[in-house]
Amino acid sequence: MNLKGKRIVVTGGTGSLGKVLVRRLLSGEMGLPASIVVFSRDEAKQHEMRLDYKHRKAATDEIIYHNFQELLEFVIGDVRDYHSVAGVLREADVVFNAAALKQVPACEYFPFEAVQTNIAGPENIVRAIRENKLPVDTVVGISTDKACKPVNVMGMTKAIQERVFITANLSCPKTRFVCVRYGNVLASRGSVIPLFHDQIRNGGPVTVTTDNMTRFLLALDQAVDTVFAALKGAKRGETYIPRVPAANMLDLARALIGDRKIEIKITGIRPGEKIDEIMISEEELYRTVDREKYYAIQSILPELRSGEDKPANLQGEFSSATDLMTYEQVCQMLKDRKLRLEDVDVTEGELLR
């Protein structure tokens, strides 16, 4: 799918993924859109992102003037609010839903807040398209490995988001709804590498919850690659999964510490945390197919499965506990991504660029 001349809406566009997604859209690699709307509720983050887009270090209120005539447009709103969602989608061709409550412990303590953003938000997108007969071509829902066999509120709500979007293919037959599901994004806001870097800078200890905890790891640009791959190749109701490596979190901590004399402290599992993550469950194996560098999980609804694709050659669930990177491979990955402490200015802004 070429995005040249298309009108794009990115919900949660000021988040870690949203910012990289917008940058890639502006590059024109998928064709230069007619407009890109960043839809989010945080005016301060929008202001910072607008300054960055305009290559300004500081500005007063006049920077917002002519907002609606710009290629990159900012709209204050909340996916929880149906009226603001219906308004921003009125002329959209493609919607990327990156708005989410994603921090696992926060969702455990405020579960209904997660429900409102991660479930009611997607339903508002579907409802706006359905009730107003909006000519939206494609909606891409951003999900997580935690949605597979979920044990925490964040994963549970993201699992329901996937089903909300997938089922919408039946009630909104002129719009294609697809999802992407991926693992921990390296250096994203609230993730483990910025935390480890901060702990190392302050002399430790570096905290790891258990010595056998594993996670899938990918860079922000790999996450966007997955989004673009789904946009180009996913059939209605499919969920795209990147084939990415996994690592033991203790190895990751040791690789970041290097030769420094810093203690690693085991703190115990946090509320809602898994030891291993799963991208594709045993139940999903029989409807998982190959899509070049990705797996595609076909819809659980038989009406949305064509039956033309052969199942992928997976012998068991796609888990972070299998095929782990060695310690040496983790070190090389950090070096390649320039994520070692000595390679970066470890401010959040630098890590997210």
Tell me the pLDDT of the chain (353 aa) as tens digits.
899 999 999 999 999 899 999 999 999 999 999 999 999 999 999 999 998 888 776 666 666 666 676 899 999 999 999 999 999 999 999 999 999 999 898 999 999 999 999 999 999 999 999 999 999 999 999 999 999 999 999 999 999 999 999 999 999 999 999 999 998 887 676 678 888 989 999 999 999 999 999 999 898 999 999 999 999 999 999 999 999 999 999 999 999 999 999 999 999 988 888 999 999 999 999 999 999 899 999 999 999 987 777 888 898 999 999 889 999 999 998 888 877 666 554 343 333 33
Query: CA-based angle 279:283:285, to the nearest 5?
Result: 65
Return the amino acid letter for 98. A
What homologous superfamily does CATH list for 7-352? NAD(P)-binding Rossmann-like Domain (3.40.50.720)
Measured between alpha carbons, how far is 98 from 118 in angstroms, rounded to an integer? 10
Domain boundaries in the chain? 7-352
138: nearest Cα among 16, 26, 228, 243: 228
Point out the catalytic residue in the list 102, 146, 158, 235.
Answer: 146
Q: HSE (CB half, 13 Å, CA atoms) of 37?
A: 25
Query: Would you call the peptide bond into 33 cis, given omega within 30 degrees of 0 as the criterion?
Result: no
What the block records as the tokens of 164 is 């909300």
| pTM higher than the cut 0.95 | no
276 vs 143, 215, 242, CA distance in Å? 17, 6, 17
Instruction: Return the structure tokens found at 187.
Output: 């250096």
Annotated catalytic residue 293: no
Q: State the pLDDT at residue 8.
A: 98
